Amino acid sequence: MGASLKDVAQLAGVSIKTVSNVVNNYPHVTPGMRAKVQRAIDELGYRPNLTARHLRKGRTGIIALAVPELGNPYFAELAGAVVDAAARHDYTVLLDHTAGERQKEILVSQGFRAHVIDGLILSPIELEAADLLGRTDDAPLVLLGEREYDAPYDQIAIDNVSAARTAVRHLTGLGHRRIAFLGARRESARQPAHLRLRGWREELTAAGLPCDDSLVAATDGYGRVDGAAAMNALLDRGERPDAVFAYNDLIAIGAMRALTDRGLRVPDDVAVVGFDDIEEGRFSTIALTTVSPDKQAIARLAVERVVARLAGAPHLVPERIQPGYTLVARESTARRPG
């Protein structure tokens, strides 16, 4: 245990309050007094005990961020942006994994480390709106990610349907007609990918193209392996799309890898579009065309929303905020040959 206010006060021969005043830069302290106290502080190597301060103030300065896993660069990049955004408001980030599992997501939403976190930013995968109904924890909650929840919490997400349509439109605009979707979930009960899938359907329909369900490939997860497996499965059952729209960049990268392995060229034989704009895609041997959500904005807005509620606007009406996105065309897409 380090020194406490009391120790410093004793050494300096003043009251606790005076030391507290110095520590907190209370303006009305005489310079001489300040110097004397400061000397005692330095001598003892005093550091304020934040835990005690928090108990007193009811605030900890800690925001929790729960993402499926940091192994996915999208979440790693997002987490990094949240850490930086939080730091700008003098908040620190407590990090947790949910593995995208509903139970873990519920647990976190219900009061992860209750009272030690001031607010919670959660990026759910399988969570249902109903799971949020009985939430008692009074720490502000902000939801991130693709899904839309009919629940009274702030939600920060780009317009996934419209973004997916933009991606597909990019492909149809290049003359592609058989456009596969990679990354639907195997079980139909929960369909986290449904908005992007809907975008795919809507845009194909708008372009007067058929929505061929045999061109929809399910995956078990959201990683590179899953993308490769889905691409292989599609090709194995005899489909030969001339373009692929993947649920995310990792799946797209896995798909490109599978295509290359089978001697198919990207983009000449099959064009590929991803979603997320992770840095990896910019530098892959065939740079990946992708939908780029404004991650900085997402992180900033999420943190600001938590901080605003904490700073005296606790009953702000919950909002659904849609940050911007752009389509970044790179090497993995090109005009359909012939």
Partner DNA sequence: ATGAAAGCGCTAACAC
Partner DNA sequence: GTGTTAGCGCTTTCAT
Site of interaction with a copy of itself (CB under 8 A): 1-2, 45, 47-52, 54-55, 58, 60, 62, 69-71, 73, 76-77, 79-80, 83-84, 87, 92-97, 111, 113-116, 136-138, 223-224, 228, 253-254, 256-257, 260, 279-280, 282-286
Closer of 17 and 88 to DNA (Cβ): 17
Residue 317 binds what, of DNA, a copy of itself, none (CB under 5 to 8 Å, by partner type)? Answer: none
Closer of 23 and 327 to DNA (Cβ): 23
Residues in contact with DNA, total (CB under 7 A)? 27
Shortest Å, Cβ 6 to DNA: 6
CA 131 vs CA 54, 102, 153: distances in Å: 29, 9, 13
**Exposed e or buried b for every residue in 32-47, given b needs 16+ CB within 10 A?**
eeeebbbebbeebebe
Shortest Å, Cβ 166 to a copy of itself: 25
Closer of 19 and 163 to DNA (Cβ): 19
- Residue 18 touching DNA (CB under 7 A): yes
Phi, psi of 189 (to 5 degrees): -50, -60
CA 61 vs CA 87, 196, 301: distances in Å: 10, 36, 17
Phi, psi of 183 (to 5 degrees): 120, 15
> What is residue 255's three-state secondary structure?
helix
- Residue 15 touching DNA (CB under 7 A): yes
Binds DNA by CB under 7 A, chosen from 10, 38, 49, 162 = 49
Query: Number of H helices and number of E strands within the chain?
Result: 13, 12
Single out the segment in contact with DNA by CB under 7 A; choices: 29-37, 87-95, 220-228, 317-325.
29-37
- Residue 52 touching DNA (CB under 7 A): yes
Residue 282 binds what, of a copy of itself, DNA, none (CB under 5 to 8 Å, by partner type)? Answer: a copy of itself
Phi, psi of 7 (to 5 degrees): -60, -45
Closer of 3 and 329 to DNA (Cβ): 3
Alpha helices, DSSP H, located in the chain:
5-12, 16-23, 31-44, 50-57, 73-88, 102-109, 129-133, 160-173, 194-206, 224-236, 249-261, 279-283, 295-310
Q: Examine residue 267 and say whether the peptide bond preceding it is cis (omega within 30 degrees of 0).
A: yes
Closer of 176 and 295 to a copy of itself (Cβ): 295
Residue 21 binds what, of DNA, a copy of itself, none (CB under 5 to 8 Å, by partner type)? Answer: DNA
Ranges within 64-93 binding DNA (CB under 7 A): none
CA 335 vs CA 51, 256, 268: distances in Å: 60, 17, 8
* Distance of alpha carbon 65 from alpha carbon 86, whole angstroms: 11
Closer of 115 and 320 to a copy of itself (Cβ): 115
Residue 76 binds what, of a copy of itself, DNA, none (CB under 5 to 8 Å, by partner type)? Answer: a copy of itself
Single out the segment in contact with DNA by CB under 7 A; choices: 55-63, 72-80, 101-109, 140-148.
55-63
Angle, vertex CA 231, rays to CA 279 and CA 77, nearest 5: 20
Residue 111 binds what, of DNA, a copy of itself, none (CB under 5 to 8 Å, by partner type)? Answer: a copy of itself
- Residue 186 touching DNA (CB under 7 A): no
Closer of 2 and 210 to DNA (Cβ): 2
- Residue 311 touching DNA (CB under 7 A): no
In whole angstroms, what separates CA 32 from the centre of its chain?
50
Cα dihedral sign, 82-88-89-90: positive
Where along the sequence are the contacts to DNA (CB under 7 A)? Answer: 1, 4-6, 14-18, 20-21, 23-24, 28-30, 32-33, 46, 48-49, 52-53, 55-58
